[in-house]
With several copies, the nearest count.
Chain A
């Protein structure tokens, strides 16, 4: 299985990418560890996580094709 991870705002700059695919990750918790492995500096930033356009506060299982986003505090307007 494959999930799509989007990096926004300062996190796109810090990671040097806007999009990275991850494979064989069971939960958001697993995914976060993988992301911290790839981009250790991410841990220093404040962000929320969305799964398929919904912000999550728990640790759901992931399914093939899921879209996850790492989102720093919003600053629109």
Chain B
């Protein structure tokens, strides 16, 4: 079972565009805060990261994403919707691997809730990453 919150490979601009179109269907939200996590071409001992291979515990990711949404909605009652999408599999340097979109009536709620959701994702989502270097060696992070 592939959960909605996991996407195979990078999060492409068309995924983002379709979320933007979804946003425009509602007229009770005034502020949307989006976080995009991108694979950086970091250097590690003179080797450059060319991609990350993400693995995820799909069943538990689904459970944890729901828990995170519940936490946010309980703390920020003005939040109207939350979208969380994480990549699994190979994502190349420069590509997007995480998207969080929080929509609220007013900007402060959207911004604070999005920031908190990103922290919870980092802490609670069972996702692992293997950095792949330009010489094809790899390193678990």
Q: Which residue of A lies closest to B87 (CB)?
A: A76
Chain A residues within 8 Å of B26, by CB:
none
**Could you tell me if B140 and A13 are in contact, using CB atoms closer than 8 angstroms?**
yes
**Could you tell me if B128 and A10 are in contact, using CB atoms closer than 8 angstroms?**
yes
**Could you tell me if A53 and B63 are in contact, using CB atoms closer than 8 angstroms?**
yes
A74 on interface, CB distance cutoff 8 Å: yes
Which 9 pairs from chain A and chain B are nearest by CB? Answer: A76-B127, A9-B128, A10-B140, A76-B125, A53-B60, A75-B129, A53-B63, A77-B37, A75-B141
24 contacts between A and B (CB under 8 A): A8-B55, A8-B57, A8-B126, A8-B128, A9-B128, A9-B140, A10-B128, A13-B140, A50-B57, A53-B63, A69-B57, A74-B122, A74-B123, A74-B128, A75-B127, A75-B129, A76-B56, A76-B86, A76-B121, A76-B126, A76-B129, A77-B98, A77-B107, A77-B121
Chain A residues in the interface with B (C-beta under 8 A): 6, 8-10, 12-13, 50, 53, 67, 69, 71-72, 74-77
Chain B residues in the interface with A (C-beta under 8 A): 37, 54-57, 59-60, 63, 86, 97-98, 107, 118, 121-130, 140-141
